[in-house]
A and B are shown apart, each in its own frame.
Chain A
Amino acid sequence: MDPQGASSFYFRIKPKVKGGGKDLIAGKQDLDDLIKGTDFDNLDLLPADFSFRNLDLLLDDKKKPTAQLKKRLKPLADEYDWIFLDCPPNISLLSEAVFSAADALVSPIIPTTLSLRTLAQLKDFLDQRGSKQPQLLPFFSMADRRKKLHLEIMHTLTLEHPELLATVIPYASDIERMGVERKPLPAYAPKSALSKAYLALWQEILSRIG
């Protein structure tokens, strides 16, 4: 979903999709034909494309725009156990389409005042969807325990939002090396504290979504 193609870059996959976002949303291309295998077993990727910057507009032209993504993803259900959608951090028509398609919404929260507002907004927005909302799973990311403000916000927010995951992803420079290594963190720093934190996060997500 990211027109800048960060994941595609990290996985060394060309950020190009035949027919671009237009054909994708129009259903002219079978999603399965556009998917590329990564260098890691059982992990495939639908590459990004620069035209994805217009996904909001493309969706807006369709009838029932927020149902489109779910419809496109449905045929993949037999082949994949999990589908992860990497979404831009905003609330747009595309985000709404994601909310319709997803079972769970894993949202990283940087412990700052601004993120606090964002989480509240996101919750309000999801609540408007009534029973049709994905399970919200926020977690703290880039947390710096040396900063007093981070600690305070994390403490307050945890009390106010029991749905927050207990695992905290710390701020670490290891993650920035991803752009140099062009592979996922556990592939170049498998024993780092950060890799362990991500693994713990995944285990916690699994236990939450049952």
Chain B
Amino acid sequence: MPLFYELPPNLPAEKFIAKLGQKLDLDVLSRQYSLKTYYDSFDWRLFRKGLVFEYARAKHESHWLLKALASGQLLASSACQDAPGLIRDFPPGKLRGQLESVLEMRALLAVCTIDYEAYSIALLNKDEKTVLRLKLEAYDLFNTRLSLLPIKGYDKALENFCRLAEESFALTPGFRPVMLDIIEQQGRKPKDYSSKLTVQLAPDMRADVACKYLYSSLLNTIKVNEQGVIADLDSEFLHDFRVAVRRTRAGLSQLKGVLPEEVSARFGEFFAWLGQISGPTRDLDMYLVNFENHKRSLPVAIRSDLEPLYAFIAAKKQKTHDELVKKLKSPQYLSTLSAWENFLKAPADKIASEPNARLTIKELADHRIWKVYNAVLKEADHIHSGSSAAALHRLRKTCKKLRYLMEFFQSLYPEQPVRELLKSLKEFQDILGSFQDCEVQEQTLKLFSEEMMAAHIQANTFLAMGVLIQVVDSRKSKARQAFAEKFAEFKQPKYRKLFEALFAKSLEQL
């Protein structure tokens, strides 16, 4: 049986109730002014998983409600006082569990708010027993929503009502959260932000035009994340901001001879600076986000001893974040970013002056990807069990360059093989990333302990940190041992042939 209906625009709630009252015994239990705010993460994680999360407020009660987007089914709810924020602030329970698994480290942000009149109605039988409850939500600008709340053991009443709704009132069953109407009216669409790079390029585009297009998309990501970084809403704003910065920087250094040299030099330096000033906050964010995992890697008896480390890192992060914010509000940042935007907005010269700008983007992409791929193989071939951490780090950076180039230009190639190659590259990168992360963690934990000594932290915390360093060190060794195997997988002939087939074609033309 359907449980949701939408009333047509010419049938206001009051009129519907009056007409219904002529056909059925009913009792209007309450009518109250209410407010509803929809929440999701910045990147629409709930919506993408088919969920909607509401914060419904009336005079005497407020509720958090998690519903299925397609069916409207209530999955979890909780009475509450406060607007939601970070998941770790929610009381433990079903609702938190469900949200946590989808949102991870992302904060809940208000998507839109709307006010409405909420009617609660009971349909009665001849004993004046409630056999079905109705909830009407009457909005000023959108159709009234009708929800049916069946009473256990009174299925017949539900069936009869549905028949009446559809036959006498011509109501159409279906659930459509009013959020969709609101954001549509605002000219927005759900899922209007994703951290993934989804630029569509045409193979015969001039290289400089295509690159400007690409950089504009990355600039947009930088700009939309900027306020979230400044407000420190959650760790992922800074993450996405930094990825866009790094991608831009990699583009400027990897696609030389496309933009005028002085432009590449000036902005290359700017984005390097941006990467550098945002690094410390990101490193500390990583510790905070992964803190529970770090804790779980220790023996149960000493886990709580690690807590002072969290407080220490949180305080340190606050400081570095304050410094970052100062820089993001500085004239240097604002004017350079705006200069970059102006440059990207300006139309490209009719006749490209830079040597590589005249190539088609496909030619340039083939050439660069093939070259960097071979550089990865060459560097990786030189890695052996005694190689320094710095050598592994250099290789990781080259892999990142390759990854970024492939992501920039994936729309120029058949989807399936590029996705397969990206997957194999990602797996190889993961092992290098894991090694590098452990290397950095070991060093910073040692540095933290020196600083914490001065703050007279209890001895047990240092003991727990010592154990954590051991855990990290053993992870690092495992990553190093796994290197050869992962590299062998990455360079296997199957992938090599695929790389060659996709990217080596225009080699001789250049």
Taking beta carbons and an 8 Å cutoff, which residues of A are in contact with B? 11-14, 34-37, 39, 44, 182
B88 nearest CB across to chain A (Å): 27
Encoded as 1 (CB less than 8 Å from any A CB) or 0, chain B from 141 to 178 comes to 00000000001111000000000000000000000000
When distances are taken between beta carbons in the complex, the residues of chain A under 8 Å from B154 are 36-37
A14 nearest CB across to chain B (Å): 8
A139 nearest CB across to chain B (Å): 30
Nearest B-chain residue to A44, judged by Cβ: B152
- Is B62 in the interface zone, CB < 8 Å from A? no
Q: Are A12 and B129 in contact (CB under 8 A)?
A: yes
21 contacts between A and B (CB under 8 A): A12-B127, A12-B128, A12-B129, A14-B127, A34-B153, A35-B152, A35-B153, A36-B151, A36-B152, A36-B153, A36-B154, A37-B151, A37-B152, A37-B154, A39-B122, A39-B129, A39-B130, A44-B152, A44-B153, A182-B127, A182-B128
Nearest A-chain residue to B131, judged by Cβ: A37
Most B CB atoms within 10 A — which of A12, A14, A37, A44? A37
When distances are taken between beta carbons in the complex, the residues of chain B under 8 Å from A13 are 129
Encoded as 1 (CB less than 8 Å from any A CB) or 0, chain B from 120 to 143 comes to 001000011110000000000000
Bound form: Cα–Cα A115–B151 in Å: 39
Nearest B-chain residue to A12, judged by Cβ: B129
Those of B433-453 within 8 Å (CB) of chain A: none
A30 nearest CB across to chain B (Å): 12
When distances are taken between beta carbons in the complex, the residues of chain A under 8 Å from B127 are 12, 14, 182
Bound form: Cα–Cα A92–B106 in Å: 60
B380 nearest CB across to chain A (Å): 55
When distances are taken between beta carbons in the complex, the residues of chain A under 8 Å from B153 are 34-37, 44
Taking beta carbons and an 8 Å cutoff, which residues of B are in contact with A? 122, 127-130, 151-154
Nearest B-chain residue to A13, judged by Cβ: B129
Bound form: Cα–Cα A39–B122 in Å: 9
Nearest B-chain residue to A33, judged by Cβ: B153
A140 nearest CB across to chain B (Å): 33
When distances are taken between beta carbons in the complex, the residues of chain A under 8 Å from B129 are 11-13, 39
B355 nearest CB across to chain A (Å): 72
Count of A-B contacts with CB under 8 A? 24
Nearest A-chain residue to B128, judged by Cβ: A12
Bound form: Cα–Cα A39–B29 in Å: 12
A174 nearest CB across to chain B (Å): 21
Nearest A-chain residue to B151, judged by Cβ: A37
When distances are taken between beta carbons in the complex, the residues of chain A under 8 Å from B122 are 39
A201 nearest CB across to chain B (Å): 24
Nearest A-chain residue to B132, judged by Cβ: A37
Nearest A-chain residue to B122, judged by Cβ: A39
B60 nearest CB across to chain A (Å): 14
Nearest B-chain residue to A46, judged by Cβ: B153
Q: A35-B153, A39-B122 are in contact. List 7 more A-B contacts (CB 8 A).
A: A14-B127, A36-B153, A36-B154, A37-B151, A37-B152, A37-B153, A44-B153
Nearest B-chain residue to A9, judged by Cβ: B127
Nearest A-chain residue to B29, judged by Cβ: A39
Bound form: Cα–Cα A35–B128 in Å: 18
Nearest B-chain residue to A47, judged by Cβ: B153
When distances are taken between beta carbons in the complex, the residues of chain A under 8 Å from B130 are 39
Bound form: Cα–Cα A36–B130 in Å: 11
Bound form: Cα–Cα A35–B152 in Å: 7
When distances are taken between beta carbons in the complex, the residues of chain A under 8 Å from B151 are 36-37
Bound form: Cα–Cα A171–B370 in Å: 92
Bound form: Cα–Cα A120–B87 in Å: 54
Bound form: Cα–Cα A182–B122 in Å: 16
B126 nearest CB across to chain A (Å): 10
B157 nearest CB across to chain A (Å): 11
Bound form: Cα–Cα A182–B127 in Å: 10
When distances are taken between beta carbons in the complex, the residues of chain B under 8 Å from A14 are 127
When distances are taken between beta carbons in the complex, the residues of chain A under 8 Å from B152 are 35-37, 44
When distances are taken between beta carbons in the complex, the residues of chain A under 8 Å from B128 are 12, 182
Bound form: Cα–Cα A111–B154 in Å: 41
A20 nearest CB across to chain B (Å): 16
Bound form: Cα–Cα A182–B153 in Å: 19
B134 nearest CB across to chain A (Å): 14
Bound form: Cα–Cα A13–B154 in Å: 11
Most A CB atoms within 10 A — which of B122, B129, B151? B129
Closest 5 CB pairs of A and B: A36-B153, A12-B129, A37-B151, A37-B152, A39-B130
Bound form: Cα–Cα A182–B129 in Å: 10
Bound form: Cα–Cα A12–B151 in Å: 13
B56 nearest CB across to chain A (Å): 16
A69 nearest CB across to chain B (Å): 21
Nearest A-chain residue to B27, judged by Cβ: A39
Bound form: Cα–Cα A36–B122 in Å: 16
Nearest A-chain residue to B152, judged by Cβ: A37
Bound form: Cα–Cα A13–B150 in Å: 15
Bound form: Cα–Cα A39–B127 in Å: 12
When distances are taken between beta carbons in the complex, the residues of chain B under 8 Å from A44 are 152-153
Nearest B-chain residue to A14, judged by Cβ: B127
Bound form: Cα–Cα A39–B149 in Å: 12
B65 nearest CB across to chain A (Å): 15
Most A CB atoms within 10 A — which of B128, B152, B153, B154? B153
A155 nearest CB across to chain B (Å): 43
Bound form: Cα–Cα A44–B154 in Å: 12
A16 nearest CB across to chain B (Å): 11
